[in-house]
Each structure stands twice: as C-alpha cells, then as structure tokens.
Amino acid sequence: MDCTSNGHGVARSITYAQLASLDAGAWFGADFAGARMPTLAQVHERCVSLGMMANIEIKPCPGRDAETGLLVAREAARLWADSPIAPLMSSFSFDALQAAYDTAPNLPYGMLYEKVPGREGVWRLARAGRDAVVRVAACGSLRAG
C-alpha cells in the first residue's frame, strides 16, 4: 500500500472497505488527490468503454503466489471473456504468473523484472508461454517529483 496509496503496510492486513477508503492518487500529485482504488470489474468496464487494454499486475503476498495468480486470472478471464481486447497479465512472481497461465492460457502474459535476465532466462520464459519480458523500475521512482 505504501507505493500506491496513503495506506501503510500490506493490503492483506485490512478489509476491502478499508482499502477502498484509501487515497490512491495524492502520492502521484495534487491533481489526483482523492482517487480511490477501483475494483477489477470497474477497471474492466472503463477499459471496454474506452477501447483500452489493461495491464493487470498480479501482486501476491508472501507464500500465496500460486493462489493469487489463479484467482486473479480466473476473474480476469471471466470479466474479459467477451471483450475485444484481452488484458495483459503480468507479475514479478514467476509462480503467480505460472498459476495464472495454467488457469487462463488464452490471455497474454508478461514477466516483470527490475533487471532483465540474460538471454537464457528470456528463452526459458518464452518456452514457458510468456508473451513479454518487461523491465520495471522500483515503485519509489514512479512518484511525482
């Protein structure tokens, strides 16, 4: 929560009602203050209405990688079943992404890294069904300056 809202700690420690009440915009800039975290259903609705693709990053808490990947992929596949543009499922967790892929193999997948692995690592990901390998900066570098 520290990287994406005015909340502190891990999301698993609070209820959804508490999570929904957090300010998810002020950390980015004053113009975004008061923004709330949308549900996945709300994200789907907005993306479809605007003809946009979503990048759904799977962020499991420690020890729940596969469970989180399965649940997120199941819900994304259900929501986007009839949508013209499928969401990209991404994660820094290989285990979460593998469980998501096993659950909904027709969705596109991308493995996230702070540092892209060497050529052999990229080839292994490609053989495992990953559609993209993406380098992402740490969340602290995304804050408005």
CB atoms within 10 A of CB 3: 11
C-alpha angle 3-36-64 in degrees, rounded to nearest 5: 55
Q: What is the DSSP letter of 39?
A: P
Domains in the chain: ranges and CATH: 1-37 (no CATH), 53-142 (3.20.20.190)
pLDDT value of residue 113: 77
What predicted TM-score, i.e. pTM, was given to this entire model? 0.74
- Residue entry with tokens 């890294």: 113
- What confidence score (pLDDT) does residue 141 get? 37
Task: Specify the pLDDT at position 129.
Answer: 55
Residues ≥6 apart with Cβ < 8 Å to 140: 3
Q: Which residues of the chain have pLDDT under 50?
A: 135-145
Q: What's the pLDDT tens digit per position in 103-127?
A: 999 998 888 877 766 666 655 665 5
pLDDT at 110 (0 to 100): 83
Q: Which helix (H) or strand (E) holds 135?
A: strand 132-135
pLDDT attached to residue 4: 72
pLDDT value of position 1: 58
